[in-house]
C-alpha cells in the first residue's frame, strides 16, 4: 500500500507540473504542441538523471524510484497526448509538422535520457 501511495503522490505532483508547463508555454505558441514536447523532453532528461543517480547509489531505497520515476515522471510526461496530437496533425494534413514533431521528440528524448544518465555516472 505504501508503494501505491508513493506512486500516487508522485503522479499527482508530476501532473501539476505538466499543467504548469502548459500554462507557461501557451504564451509562445498555440500552433505547435510545445507543452507536450517540453514535458516529454524534460521528463526524458529527468528519468535519465534519476536512473543514473539510482544506479550509482544502490543504497537508496526503491521507494524513491517509485515516487520520482514511476510517479512523478509518469504523471509529468505525456506520451499519450503526444500520440493524439500527432494523429490530429496527420488528419489535418500537416504531414511535415507531424513528422518533425515525431522525429524530434523521439530522437531528442532518447538523447536527453542518455545525457541525463551519463551526467550522473
Q: Where is the binding site for Na(+), in residues?
A: 74, 77
Closest CA to 11 of 61, 51, 67, 50: 67
CB count in 10 Å sphere of residue 25: 18
Distance CA 87, CA 80 (A): 11
Measured over all CA atoms, what is the biggest interatomic distance in the chain, rounded to whole angstroms? 51
Enumerate the known binding-site residues. 74, 77
Task: Give the Cα separation of 97 and 52 in Å (integer).
Answer: 33
Which region, left, alpha or beta, applies to residue 93 given φ > 0 means left and ψ of -120 to 50 means alpha? Answer: left
Amino acid at each position: 500500500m505504501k508503494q501505491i501511495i508513493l506512486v500516487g503522490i508522485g503522479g499527482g505532483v508530476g501532473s501539476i507540473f505538466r499543467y504548469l508547463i502548459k500554462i507557461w508555454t501557451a504564451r509562445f505558441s498555440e500552433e505547435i504542441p510545445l507543452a507536450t514536447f517540453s514535458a516529454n523532453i524534460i521528463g526524458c532528461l529527468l528519468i535519465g538523471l534519476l536512473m543514473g543517480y539510482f544506479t550509482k547509489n544502490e543504497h537508496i531505497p526503491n521507494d524513491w524510484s517509485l515516487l520520482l520515476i514511476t510517479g512523478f515522471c509518469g504523471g509529468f510526461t505525456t506520451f499519450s497526448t503526444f500520440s493524439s496530437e500527432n494523429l490530429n496533425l496527420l488528419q489535418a494534413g500537416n504531414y511535415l509538422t507531424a513528422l518533425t514533431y515525431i522525429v524530434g521528440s523521439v530522437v531528442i528524448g532518447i538523447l536527453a535520457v542518455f545525457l541525463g544518465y551519463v551526467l550522473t555516472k
